[in-house]
């Protein structure tokens, strides 16, 4: 699985003008299931993200996790993280998991984040979503398991 995480002071996702998910301080997690990914990949990624120390402590150092600060996660499916731009000018997405499997793993990943003790808000798989955020830092990290 691939994830692009952004430390945010707030984030929201809308579909057709309706807000589906919204958080204050925490992480916006753009997530993509790749071909061959399993629940084990989602488990590992969720555990890693929940414990990733990228929030400031009292000394101003990135030393606290999402769990430590009591933050939330906004989990948004993003198949374009599978983009292959090695040939031509049009990205290919053939390495992304098929849609049904991608949706299953997206939902599973969101559930695993919640199982870690993180409040989770979500977008809608496959929808044309509008994502708004205030990137805090800015801190943006690419992760792959």
The enclosing domain of 27 has a CATH number of 3.50.80.10
Residue 78 lies in a domain: yes
Residue 133 lies in a domain: no
Contact 79, 102 (CB under 8 A): yes
Q: Which residue has the tokens 């998991």?
A: 97
Q: Which of 19, 35, 38, 80 is catalytic?
A: 80
Residue 134 lies in a domain: no
Residue 77 lies in a domain: yes
Residue 136 lies in a domain: no
This prediction has a pTM of: 0.96
Q: What is the pLDDT of residues 62-95, one digit of tens each?
A: 999 999 999 999 999 999 999 999 999 999 999 9
80 carries an active-site annotation: yes
Report how far Cα 65 is from the mean position of its chain's Cα atoms. Answer: 15
Q: Which of 55, 79, 109, 125 is catalytic?
A: 79
25 carries an active-site annotation: no
Residue 122 lies in a domain: yes
Q: What is the pLDDT of residues 22-69, one digit of tens each?
A: 999 999 999 999 999 999 999 999 999 999 999 999 999 999 999 999
Residue 141 lies in a domain: no
Contact 41, 59 (CB under 8 A): no
- The number of domains in the chain is 1
- Expressed as residue numbers, the domain containing 26 is 2-127
Question: d(Cα 98, Cα 43) in Å, to the nearest integer?
Answer: 19
Question: d(Cα 74, Cα 89) in Å, to the nearest integer?
Answer: 31
């Amino acid at each position: 699985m691939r994830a692009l995480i952004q430390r945010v002071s707030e984030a929201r996702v809308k579909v057709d003008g309706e807000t589906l998910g919204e958080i204050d301080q925490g992480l916006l997690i753009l997530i993509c299931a790749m071909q061959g990914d399993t629940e084990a990949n989602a488990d590992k990624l969720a555990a890693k993200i929940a414990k990733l120390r990228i929030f400031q402590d009292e000394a101003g150092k990135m030393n606290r996790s999402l769990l430590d600060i009591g933050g939330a996660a906004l989990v948004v499916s993003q198949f374009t993280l599978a983009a292959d731009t090695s040939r031509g000018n049009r990205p290919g997405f053939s390495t992304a998991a098929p849609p049904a499997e991608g949706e299953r793993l997206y939902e599973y990943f969101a559930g695993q984040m919640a199982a870690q003790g993180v409040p989770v808000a979500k977008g809608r798989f496959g929808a044309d979503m509008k994502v708004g955020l205030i990137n805090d830092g800015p801190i943006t990290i690419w992760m792959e398991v």
